[in-house]
Amino acid sequence: MEKLTLDLVILVEDESDIQNVSASVGDGSGVEEKKSTHQDVADEESKPESTSTIDTSDLPPHAVLGMPALSPTMNQGNIAKWNKKEGDKVSYVFDIRYLAKIVAPEGSKEVAVGQPIAITVEDAGDIEVVKNSISSSSVNQKEKATQHGTKSEVKTQKTNTARISPAAKLLIMEYGLDASTLNATGPLGTLLKGDVLSAIKSGKLSPKPASSKAKASSSSQSHQVAASQESKSNLKQSDAYEDFPNSQIRKVIAKRLLESKQNTPHLYLSSDVTLDPLLSLRKDLKEQYDVKVSVNDIIIKVVAAALRNVPEANAYWNEEKGEVILCDSIDISIAVATEKGLMTPILKNADQKTISAISSEVKELAAKAREGKLKPQEFQGGTFSISNLGMYPVDKFCAIINPPQACILAVGRGIKVVEPVIGADGIEKPSVATKLNLTLSADHRVFDGKVGGAFLSALKSNFGDIKRLLL
């Protein structure tokens, strides 16, 4: 469980961890000093409004404890437990303070990073001042919200009975409705046909006195609406489902993948390579030198060598400059599945390392990723990504680019196929070969057809003469 223990509070990144938190207390950190100046007021006004927005301009000397980030990808967290209560003394490395006000109580969920969770003061006499000030500020905010809501309701009521379109009039007459109770959404407060139909479908109708024929029609329509609503309600009740809460990492991954597909023009290039030379090399390394490496380890070396041969492929798009930037080093990001989501630890300078060195480092990075112990520099950055699903029954797939990188290689499983081969006697004979599909997803702003084709050609050449990678 990834957590941060402060002298004041225990924070967790995932909601599911709240129940599993122990009562352990660590050292305090994450406090941001603030002075009572008019600049604070200006800063607060420039931020988006939230339920936890507080006015600290009139408070005595104090410090605001903001929600810290437990990881580089975290943008919100949860309050699992407060180890101190309001009025308690809190000891820091160079200072002693008092917990004056808890802004975010125990059990608070999805608190944004940087959002205030508590206020501390240096003087114990200022505790009540802070409590009273924050409480009165909250009451004022609620009163303003109530007044604003009342004004909005009055304004809505005034605009409800405005102009009525001809089609809306016919429906109102047909169903015997009271036009003053319908919500008008048209320009200048015009009541439209759609407004009347929405009211009819909702079942919240206010009929006016009408003829017996109109009453009968309205009654029949009401029964139909009620029956329709009842059937929909029964249908919803019969649908069984379970909410599966996402971890903070998965939320960030989902957001970035969506941004990648929306903002990056993906170019897809696919090619089949022969896997038999690679499998033969792997077998020789194990039998002759007792070196155990995976297929993926050798693929990393093959890709790194191809990037060295085609340096234009080892690049990214600079949004600010609007141009392609070539990378100096070849740093390969490896997709590793963990319980909290997909992580991409980086194998730096992969082209300069032996296959055995690559194998050892990949195992170490994958273990760190699964245990949640990766350092930021071990998974942030990279110049090229590899996503390998060869261990599953996946023949081929298209991966989504991992920004700010410009390319990711999707590796499928090896498949045995029969293909014609010309023998030494010049006669064509059937032969069994293991084929592997590689699909390149590239940023079209960086990769055009020429660069993509050159890179795949280099890959295919390396797979065909795999032993030269040992040189």
What is the tens place of the pLDDT at every residue in 435-456?
999 999 999 999 998 999 999 9
Q: What are phi and psi of 409, to 5 degrees?
A: -105, 120
Q: What residues are paired with 185 via a beta bridge?
A: none
Nearest to 375 by CA among 342, 353, 345, 338: 345
**Mean pLDDT, residues 110-127 taken together:** 82
> On the CB side of 271, how many CA atoms lie within 13 Å of its CA?
17
d(CA 302, CA 169): 74
Mean pLDDT of the chain, nearest integer = 78
CATH classification for the domain delimited by 3-143, as one of 3.40.80.10, 3.30.470.20, 3.40.50.1000, 2.40.50.100:
2.40.50.100
What does DSSP assign to residue 451? H
When pLDDT is averaged across residues 112-130 and rounded to a whole number, the result is: 82
Mean pLDDT within 241-254: 81
For residue 346, give both structure tokens. 């980086």
Q: Which of 266, 328, 448, 465 is catalytic?
A: 448
Query: Is 7 one of the catalytic residues?
Result: no
The residue among 331 and 149 whose pLDDT is bigger is 331
Residues 365/353, Cβ–Cβ less than 8 Å? no
Strand residue runs (E) in 89-238:
89-91, 96-102, 111-112, 116-121
Task: Determine the 3-state secondary structure of 243 from DSSP.
Answer: coil
Residue 312 has pLDDT above 60, yes or no: yes
| Amino acid residing at 319 | E
User: Rounded distance, CA 254 to CA 72, Å?
Assistant: 15
- In terms of DSSP bridges, do strands 384-388 and 76-82 run parallel, antiparallel, or are they unpaired? unpaired
**Against a cut of 0.85, is the pTM above it?**
no
Q: Under CATH, which architecture does the 248-470 domain have?
A: 2-Layer Sandwich (3.30)
Least trusted range by pLDDT, from 10-24, 199-213, 298-312, 414-428: 10-24
pLDDT above 50 (res 33): no
Which of 40, 266, 395, 444 does the annotation list as catalytic? 444
Round to whole Å and give the CA distance between 410 and 386.
Answer: 6
The model's confidence at residue 3, banded by pLDDT at 50, 70 and 90, is: very low
The whole-number pLDDT of residue 244 equals 78
448 a catalytic residue: yes
pLDDT band for position 156 (cuts 50, 70, 90): very low
Q: Are strands 315-318 and 116-121 parallel, antiparallel or unpaired?
A: unpaired
pLDDT of residue 468: 81
What residues does each domain of the chain span? 3-143, 161-238, 248-470
Residues 14-31 as b or e (16 or more Cβ within 10 Å = b): bbebbeebeeeeeebebb
C-alpha span between 16 and 13 (Å, rounded): 9
- Is 3.40.1710.10 the CATH classification of the domain at 161-238? no
State both tokens at 35. 């002075």
